[in-house]
Amino acid sequence: MNDSGDARPQPSIAASTPPTPPTRPAPDAPAGPPAPSMVGTPLRLLALCLGSLVAMAPWPLLGILLTQSLFDRDSEAFMLFGGVTLFPLMVLALFGSPSEELLIAVLMLVWIAVALLPGALFRRRLRSRAAIGVLLGAQSVFALLQAAMGALLVVGKSV
């Protein structure tokens, strides 16, 4: 009997509630400790830097092969390594004509820095092959843009 004096059986609360679905962790919750860096050791960092140079080198070299007949001097080949970098260097022209050696040194310094610094600075964040591929792809696109701008400067010079 229940409290009201009825002889009817009362349904249990557990039988009338639907089963709860299994709980899932929040999408932004870490699934455990982060994966170790793919470039954690100095040898792997050196391999990444060499890989960056390999990913970046084909574009200026291809540009040199294609525009070699337009060069007045052999030093113009360095424009293909840093075509975009030449625009900020025009500020140096305000203080007089910069030497060709200075321009080449700055171009190569920027190009080498783009090849080496991202791998060294982001080595703890490079935890997957996909992240390394994105870095190498970005560096290759940078080198392509530099070479394309340098080729346009070489072609524009001879027009």
pLDDT band at 4 (very low <50, low <70, confident <90, very high): low
pLDDT at 96: 80
pLDDT at 58: 93
Lookup result for tokens 């997957």? 128
Question: What are the CA-CA distances from residue 47 to residues 19, 42, 72 (Å)?
Answer: 54, 9, 37
pTM for this model (two decimals) = 0.68
| Rounded Cα distance, 85 and 34, in Å | 37
pLDDT at 62: 94
13 pLDDT higher than 60: no
**Domain extents in the chain:** 37-157
pLDDT in tens, 75-127: 888 888 877 777 777 777 788 877 888 888 888 888 888 888 888 787 777 88
One DSSP character per residue, 34-73 reads PPPPTT-SHHHHHHHHHHHHHHHTHHHHHHHHHHGGG-SS
Q: What is the mean pLDDT of the chain?
A: 79
pLDDT band at 140 (very low <50, low <70, confident <90, very high): very high
What's the DSSP call for residue 26?
-
